[in-house]
Copies of this chain bind each other. A is one copy, B any other.
């Protein structure tokens, strides 16, 4: 019954791709209208003109859906570039994150995500979460460096040493005063640790 709930339309990109596009656009519009609120699944369904049941079936709950929207936006706004070195790639990535958490819309999204209770997890579990797609990108950066013979930190150390302080600033201390120098310091700290291990 629920499977038939969404009316079939044209086929470019596939039905599943079209629904995703409409749903992500609906979430974006609702967040822009009410920046401090996690939108309700019913409101998203209405705006995207899809049946709420199919949203629940595909994303489980609204926090997972908003999480995927956040990561999708992040990956489009701040793609991880291949600068030729792990240091360069991580600095560009980190500056993007630092700018992201100082932009009002993204910070709101980050805050909404922190408002969603997380179950105990380790880095392995994260792969199955919305953030997993971004982690896969970061791991590509590290593998590329390894293939070039560079000494690279683990993904866990990149999250703890580089990402965590940027979030601490964005969420609690206020954005970093000098993001470029600040991020370079963090990346060099992660690389120095990798050298010693």
Contact = CB atoms under 8 A, between A and B. Distances in A.
A64 interface: no
A110 to B, nearest CB: 8
Contact of A189 (B107, B175, B193): B193
A45 interface: no
Given A164-B168, A189-B193, A175 B115 contact: no
Given A189-B193, A193-B189, A118 B171 contact: yes
A97 to B, nearest CB: 12
Interface in A162-185: 163-165, 167-168, 171-175, 177
B119 A115 contact: no
B114 A172 contact: yes
B113 A172 contact: yes
B115 A36 contact: yes
Contacts of A131: 172
Number of this chain's copies in the assembly equals: 2
Contacts of A123: 173
A173 B128 CA distance: 12
Interface string A81-118: 00000000000000000000010000100010111011
Contacts of A111: 114-115
B186 A114 contact: no
B160 A120 contact: no
Contacts of A121: 173-174
A19 interface: no
Contacts of A126: 173
A125 interface: yes
Interface in A106-157: 107, 111, 113-115, 117-123, 125-126, 131
Given A160-B168, A167-B171, A168-B168, 16 more contacts: A107-B117, A114-B115, A118-B173, A118-B174, A120-B175, A120-B177, A122-B173, A126-B173, A159-B168, A159-B173, A160-B164, A161-B161, A161-B189, A163-B168, A167-B168, A167-B172
